[in-house]
Amino acid sequence: MDRTILHSDCNCYYASVEMLHQPKLWDIPMAVGGDPEARHGIILTANYIAKRRGVKTGMALWQARQVCPEITFVPPRMDLYIKFSRMIREIYSEYTDLIEPFGLDEAWLDTSGSCSVKGDGMRIAKEISGRIKKEIGITVSVGVSWNKIYAKLGSDYKKPDAITEFSRQNYREKAFPLPAGDLLYVGRSTQRKLHNLGITTIGELAGTDPALLQRIFGKVGLMLYAFAAGLDETPVSPEHTEAPVKSIGNSTTTPRDLTCDEDVKLVLYLLSESVAKRCRENGFAGQVIEIYVRDNELYSVGRQRKIAVPTNISHEIEAVAMELFHEVYHWHRPIRSIGVRVADLKPESIPWQISLFQSPEQREKLLAADRAADDIRRRFGFHAVQRGIMYCDRYLSSLNASADDHMIHPHSYLERGNRTGAEKILHLNV
């Protein structure tokens, strides 16, 4: 018996919440993004007026201003968006406990067990859509299908405030003519490769020999074939289950271009403090340090290194990050953004044999200093205590790299390690 899967996607979510709180924004082009003066961030979402004038999610603020000079930027308020997301999920929870978030504004719902009481998928989708509009004040687009991929395709099919069903009876007629790029995980690069093979639509992808796709794309080719052909069987994860944390990182677009090692060192300390703090809060220490650098022409490079002893000490993270920076970047151009990440996380309570060249007493002092700074910042704010290097450039050090400013990113569809139809194909040795 087929499942009944819904994918609910809030329309222009951040912008919708802001317009709900600021009615003056309803009739003008607006977008939620960073601070245009400090050059922080990109367009997170825009309302439909701005979208019709060419503003797109992911566009830099200056680019959005070029295509729509009269646009109004609103800084993001993540606490507000999280609050609304929780209220929306409370509505979902009245229909099923199988709710898998895909970011703040999207979620899959497996309502198979509710159909005998609540009605079929379309009826449940209409009821949920109506309740969110009436009780929350924003709109959603909902896809209904027997698998997660087609449910997601359905929520993207028609916007805003729409419900689309891809059923066993109509999916060839409705879904197969759509561009292959509409499928989850068919990005621009994959779409270009498919186009070179003469595959432009979902139907053509579903009709392609999976052995050919496997030779060209590896296992991903089988996954894409399964997605297109409606073979995906990935379950909707129960509510409040999350994939295990694999890494902790932070990156930023700097208030001005970085032009020298001293600039980089200052920003790396800010980022390392943020990452180390989050590691300690979650009881982790990491054994892989990674940096990411992007120059002012948007060319990106990165490098990582495995260290001998896992760490959650900001000084140690910054020291390795700075060494990696010297290895990977040679000042061809000024730097626009930079990031630090700690991976290969392990419980901080696990004992490790430190190097003969490391002083355990010195490490304990550094960790104690970090924890003392955490406590002061928790009580009095991020800028209540700072390193002396921050006084070398008060403009750069005004950046708040605390965890409170982080954006919420959606989980990867694949990170939960679920068995899909593609894996079944693989086991058949196609």
State the amino acid at position 402 in one-letter form: S
Query: Which sign does the torsion angle of CA 94, 97, 103, 104 carry?
Result: positive
Tell me the DSSP string of 122-191. HHHHHHHHHHIIIIIS--EEEEEESSHHHHHHHHHHS-SS-EEE--TTTHHHHTTTSBGGGSTT--HHHH
Residues in CB range of 63: below 8 A, 6 or more apart? none
Identify the DSSP state of 25.
G
Contact between 132 and 140 under an 8 Å Cβ cutoff? The reply is yes
Structure token digits, residue 247: 């890494």
- Between the two ends of the chain, the Cα-to-Cα distance in Å is 26
Contact between 167 and 151 under an 8 Å Cβ cutoff? The reply is no
Look at residues 41, 42, 47 and name the one whose alpha carbon lies nearest to residue 17.
47
Look at residues 267, 255, 295 and name the one whose alpha carbon lies nearest to residue 39.
255
Marked catalytic residue, from 18, 100, 106, 316: 106
Q: Is 59 helix (H, G, I), strand (E, B) or coil?
A: coil
Contact between 412 and 220 under an 8 Å Cβ cutoff? The reply is no
State the amino acid at position 303 in one-letter form: R
Concerning whether 297 is annotated as a catalytic residue, the answer is no
Helices (H), 253-346: 261-281, 314-328
Tell me which residues are annotated as active site: 106
